[in-house]
Structure formats: C-alpha cells, structure tokens
Structure 1
Amino acid sequence: MAKRKNTPAPDPAVLATALSGHRTGGPSSRERGRHVPVLRGDIGMQIARDGTWFYHGSPITRKPLVKLFSTVLVRDSDDEFYLVTPTEKCRISVDDAPFVAVSLDTQGEGSTQSLTLHTNVGDQITVNDAHPIRVTFDPVTREPSPYLLVRDRLEALIARPVYYELAEIGCEEEIDGDQLYGVWSEGSFFPLGRLENEIVDDA
C-alpha cells in the first residue's frame, strides 16, 4: 500500500497576497456602494478563544500577517465574520471574540480616570461610551467573560490577568437601585457585575 504523502498547509501569505487592495477596517461604505465583493465562502481560517489565528488547522505565527487580516475583518449583519476587501468577501470562524485585550494602561483615578486596553493585534482602545466594557456570566459556573468593543461590533475578550487588574481598581456604585462593582473611564461607569457575583473571587 502506498504511503500517503503529508500535504503542507496552505501558506497564509499567499492568501494575504490574494486579498489585494485591502483597506484598514474593511472597505468604506462608499466602496461598498460601488462594488459588491464576491463571496468566496469559508476559507479554512479560524480565530481561537485565546486569539490565535489558524489557517487550515495550522497557527499563523507571523504577526504582521495576523495584523493584516485583522484590518479587513468584519462582523456582518448575519453575525458571521468575514475578511472583506473591495473585491472579495471570505467567511472565517471565530470561537469567541476575534481579538484579545492583553494589557491595561491607567491614567488618573476614581471617576476621572482613563483606561486604555491594548489588543493582541496592536489596537489601543480607550474605554468610553463608544468602546464600552461588558461582562457576561456563565449561567452554571458563574464564570465571567468580559469584553471590550473595539470597532463595528468587533469585540476583544479581556484576558484574565487584565480582568484581575480591572477588578483591583474597581469600586462599588449604585446604578438604578442595584449595587454594582465596576470601573470608571472617561467619566462613565462600566459594571463588572453585581456584588453577589463576587467579581474578584470568580474572575
């Protein structure tokens, strides 16, 4: 019986070349009005929960490629994720959020402080009303999943160490009759959860 040859995984750099004419943040509304990108379907790309990008099962280790792909990532009205250029639209799978917030910068303190989160693809996002933090809790384990809105319905999962940092600088506030624990940034309060969720212990 002939031995099956191992077929090397496709080179993501080839895909990057094919996705020519990319625009940071995806095509503009004016470009979308002029052109309808050709839907290529699923291209075998996946973003794992820890932020690792895979192409046909192999991790993409070249950070410039990951950053390039991230600039044309779009979450469409069907809640699917696509790499979109003026000419092509390629569906990819995302296990949780497409980005991960990996570090935190803090300026000031209390209600006047400003929080800036850095993502795994190089974005620097200041937490504010346009870029809020939200936290969901698993209904069984009560495990928190905190997110930051990066742009256009694309979120970053806040890494556990960063969530701990937020919990450490958080405070208690009463909002609409509920005692909430959260953080201030740019003059707005962002809840991390109710006090009975034991934010710090369960994080």
Structure 2
Amino acid sequence: MKQDLIAKINQAEQQADSTNANKRVIPPLQNWQPKFCGDMNLKICANGEWWHEGSKMTRQSLVDLFAKILWCEIDENNNAHYFLKTPVEKIGIQVEDAPLHIVAVNQIQQYNQTFIKFCTANGDEFYLDKQHEIRFGLPFNNAKISADMLEKQAEQPYILVRQNGESVLYGLIVRSIFYHLVAMGELIEKNDNVYLQLISGDETFELAM
C-alpha cells in the first residue's frame, strides 16, 4: 500500500508532463547486451563535473544525455565499474565518487501527506522510500579511486537514485542539501546513538549520525 501511493504520485506527475516533449526518460539499459568496447577518457569528478580528454564538459544537455546511459557493474571483489551503455556498445569510464549528485530536496504535499522529493543535477526526480533509501558510504568499492577517497566516502551521505536490473546508481547528497534534509527531520537519541529521523508519506526512516 505504501509503495502504491508513491506509484500513484509518480503516475500523476507523468500524466501532468505527458505533453512535454523534453521529458526525461531513462532507456531500458537492462535489456541491452552490447560487447565491451574499451575505455573512454571520460571522468566524473567527485565534485560532479564531467571531464573528457582533459577538458571540462560544459554542454549540460550532453552531460544529461550521457547520464541517462550510465551503467554500473559490481565484480566478485565488490568493486564498482562504470560504463556508458547503448544497444551496440559498452564503454568504460572513470567515476571518482558517486556518478550522480543530489542538488535539490523538497517537501511535497500530496494526498494529505508530506513526501520528501530529491532531484539530481541531471534531472532525475524521485521520492524518499524503501527503493530510495539514504546511507552513509557506498555499499561497494571503486577500484579506480584512492584509499583516501574511499575513507572520505564512508562519512558522506548517499541515496540510491536509479536501479536498472543489476546496475545501481547512487547520488551524493552534497553538504548544503544534507543541511536542508536535517532541517526537515528530527534528531533523536536511541541506544546511546544519535539518529536523523525522516518521514516521507507514512514511512519513517532513521539514519545513524
């Protein structure tokens, strides 16, 4: 029932945007099985910038297009490997931290309840729910980043943004956005620990601080 309500809200928003020809649609990457075509000199930096062959990508429309076809695979050593994936090719890229960045969070009133809604820098929009939970640190390693970055990640908040089959893409909740999130919730003490309690719809989430 809880997820049905989220689905109902998403459906209503989709219908409201049905006349928008530029509506963001994520392709069915999980259905594509292309061959690996090698690595590309493209890096998503820890600050969210995209760099190609040593130059910062400044065309946001192109970055948003590439972000739609991001794919992540986890190997047997729990290391994450990132790709750009199309129906005919899979190209390896480098990701320093999380591939997506959360740039907005708002409380939305729907059906006499308050929901917490997130937005990435590339236009992904979703609600805090059981399919999009917040955690400190990522659930896997990144074989292509430094030990210092791995240690830093353990102290940063992330949220699952998108899942296509076995691929999972997380978004970094940047510090300013996390402060807004804290203001939306309540700090509680439990078992000698401090938790941030957040309510989205009729679900309650507790994040150990």
TM superposition outliers: structure 1 runs of 4+ over 4 Å: 137-143, 173-179
| Structural RMSD (CA) | 3.0
Q: Which amino acid aligns with 1:86?
A: P
Offset, 1:77 = 2.9
5+ residue gaps, structure 2, are 1-24, 139-148
Q: Residue by residue, what CA displacement relative to the aligned partner does 1:43-83 show, whole Å, maximum 9, x if unpaired?
A: 01100111111111111100110011011111013320000
Matched, 1:53 2:50: yes
Match of 2:158 in 1: 147
CA pair 84-187 structure 1, distance change in 2 beyond 3 A? same
> Which runs of structure 2 are paired with 1:3-152 in the superposition (5 Å)?
24-25=26-27, 27-29=29-31, 31-32=32-33, 37-78=34-75, 79-108=80-109, 112-136=113-137, 144-152=155-163
2-side partners of 1:141 and 1:49: how far apart?
Answer: 11
Name which one, 1 or 2, has greater alpha-carbon Rg.
1
Matched, 1:162 2:173: no
CA pair 176-86 structure 1, distance change in 2 beyond 3 A? farther
2-side partners of 1:185 and 1:113: how far apart?
Answer: 6
Aligned residues: 165
CA pair 141-77 structure 1, distance change in 2 beyond 3 A? closer
CA pair 175-26 structure 1, distance change in 2 beyond 3 A? farther
2-side partners of 1:46 and 1:141: how far apart?
Answer: 19
Structure showing greater relative contact order (alpha-carbon pairs closer than 8 Å, 6 or more residues apart):
2
Q: TM-score, normalised by structure 1?
A: 0.71
Match of 1:189 in 2: 204
Q: Give the share of equivalent positions with the same residue, in percent.
A: 30
Offset, 1:187 = 2.5
